[in-house]
Amino acid sequence: MRIERLEMRHVSMPLVAPFETSFGVEQDREAIILRLDSEGVTGWGECVAGGWPGYSYETVQTAWHMIQDHLAPLILGQEVEDPSDYRQRIAHLKGHPLAKAGLELAFWDLAGRAADRSLMSMLGGQRQRVAVGVSIGIQPSRGELVEMVEAYVEMGYPRIKLKIKPGRDVADVRAVRQAFGELPLQVDANSAYSLDDAEIFDAMDDLGLLLIEQPLAEDDLVDHAKLQARLKTPLCLDESILSARHARQALEIGACRVINIKPARVSGLREAVAIHDLCWAQEVPVWCGGMLETGIGRAANLALASLPGFTLPGDISATERYYRQDIAEPAFVLEDGMIKVPQGKGLGIEVIQDALDKVTVRSTILQPGSKANRRAS
């Protein structure tokens, strides 16, 4: 398909409530929405790089530069057959998985819409609904945390994840465990600890958690292996796993027993499926993580989570948990602790142009031979 046009929009979307993690507080979700046009077909993508390098080194600004100046010139005016062809064209460029994944997603949507196939069927998904949970940010107080958990349990979320950070860990988690007995519960530290904090995780080991997500630094598989060796609770890696190779090595050295797969973090859906396949073959449970995506990115996460190896509930919550007004429809709703996987062609959602216009803070249109394109090539 000849790629005629790439539109980039930096968006800032107000969240229904601030989301606090060990790396900071988000009030408005920043992202880049991408629109590809080819031969009368449009494909949408979302790059989830945020406003500052808290989760990853990438930011909206670095991703903007990467997409505009390095990725776009490799596709504009070119015949790009499908997402695999796109991947080959960009394979020589180092790093920047969030930027690469955002544009790959637009190619998946484009390919699906052109071939009249759903993303779920293109990826090999097998279920119409997927089990989901909710990720709860750090709350101002322990009491408010317990109330927040109660509210989500009442809404029907069958699994709760609590964000933790030093000083807001064991006591918070214990309070939630005491209030909710058998509730399926897990925690996410977003790499806020070191092996010197092992005693905190020893204490956490008795709280019946499904898993402990990314306790240590993202580039520290070796210490994760040491920590895993002393715990009964499975460690789950998020930030550390950027490719199927990392996943294989982490499992080989015992750095984790579960993997959180986020298509964005691993450069896109193709690599996400490769990690799924590797884990499925080894009977390692995986689940689909989230990055507070808009309806565009969450549609893709739902399709991915419909693969058979996604045996744990994903961080894919209902639209109303994130945004009062999303930029895509239909909204995703929770039913019996699950969300339906879109079955329409491509991502199976429609972008709401007015809503997108309202949250756009800057935009650019790149075409073959346009200024930004020439400057970089």
If binding is defined by CB under 5 A, does position 169 make contact with Mg ion? no
Span from 18-26, 144-152, 233-241, 350-358 in contact with Mg ion (CB under 5 A)? 233-241
Which residue of this chain has its Cβ atom nearest to Mg ion in the complex? 238
The whole-angstrom separation of Cα 88 and Cα 295 is 27
* String of DSSP letters for 330-347: SPP--BTTEEEPP-SSBT
Comparing CB distances to Mg ion, the nearer of 48 and 71 is 48
Comparing CB distances to ligand OSB, the nearer of 191 and 306 is 191
| Shortest distance, position 207 Cβ to ligand OSB, whole Å | 19
| Shortest distance, position 8 Cβ to ligand OSB, whole Å | 21
* String of DSSP letters for 82-124: SHHHHHHHHTTS-S-HHHHHHHHHHHHHHHHHHHT-BHHHHHT
If binding is defined by CB under 5 A, does position 218 make contact with Mg ion? no
Q: Using CB distances below 5 to 8 A depending on partner kind, what does residue 292 bind out of Mg ion, ligand OSB, none?
A: ligand OSB
Q: Name the catalytic one among 165, 262, 340, 358.
A: 262
Comparing CB distances to ligand OSB, the nearer of 50 and 348 is 50
Which residue of this chain has its Cβ atom nearest to ligand OSB in the complex? 290
| Shortest distance, position 204 Cβ to Mg ion, whole Å | 16
| Shortest distance, position 189 Cβ to Mg ion, whole Å | 8
Rounded to 10 deg, the angle between the 269-281 and 83-90 helix axes is 100
Q: Name the catalytic one among 163, 165, 340, 371.
A: 163
Are residues 310 and 304 in contact, defined by beta-carbon separation less than 8 angstroms? yes
Nearest to 153 by CA among 185, 120, 197: 185
If binding is defined by CB under 5 A, does position 26 make contact with Mg ion? no
| Shortest distance, position 23 Cβ to Mg ion, whole Å | 10
Q: Token pair of 72, please?
A: 């776009």
Under 8 Å CB-to-CB from 137, ≥6 apart: which residues? 17, 18, 19, 20, 21, 25, 163
Comparing CB distances to Mg ion, the nearer of 188 and 271 is 188
Comparing CB distances to Mg ion, the nearer of 112 and 290 is 290
Q: Using CB distances below 5 to 8 A depending on partner kind, what does residue 118 bind out of Mg ion, ligand OSB, none?
A: none
| Annotation says 163 is catalytic | yes
Binding residues (CB under 6 A) for ligand OSB: these are 55, 135, 188, 190, 238, 289-292, 315, 317
Q: Token pair of 79, please?
A: 């015949």
For residue 219, how far is the Cα from the chain centroid?
19
28 CB burial (10 A radius; 0-12, 13-18, 19+): middle
| Shortest distance, position 58 Cβ to ligand OSB, whole Å | 12
The whole-angstrom separation of Cα 228 and Cα 52 is 30
50 DSSP assignment: B
Q: Using CB distances below 5 to 8 A depending on partner kind, what does residue 241 bind out of Mg ion, ligand OSB, none?
A: none
- Angle value at C-alpha 48, between 43 and 50, nearest 5 degrees: 145
Strand partners for 21? 24
Span from 11-19, 113-121, 186-194, 297-305 in contact with Mg ion (CB under 5 A)? 186-194
Rg (CA), the chain: 20
| Shortest distance, position 123 Cβ to ligand OSB, whole Å | 19
Buried b (16+ CB within 10 A) or exposed e, 352-376: eeebbeebeeeebebbbebebbeee
Span from 120-128, 158-166, 238-246, 274-282 in contact with Mg ion (CB under 5 A)? 238-246
If binding is defined by CB under 5 A, does position 315 make contact with Mg ion? no
Terminal CA-CA length for the chain: 21
| Annotation says 262 is catalytic | yes
Residues in the chain: 377
- 40: three-class secondary structure by DSSP: coil
Span from 21-29, 34-42, 177-185, 235-243 in contact with Mg ion (CB under 5 A)? 235-243
Count of residues in contact with Mg ion, rule CB under 5 A: 3
If binding is defined by CB under 5 A, does position 188 make contact with Mg ion? yes
What amino acid positions are annotated as catalytic residues? 163, 262
Residues making contact with Mg ion (CB under 5 A): 188, 213, 238
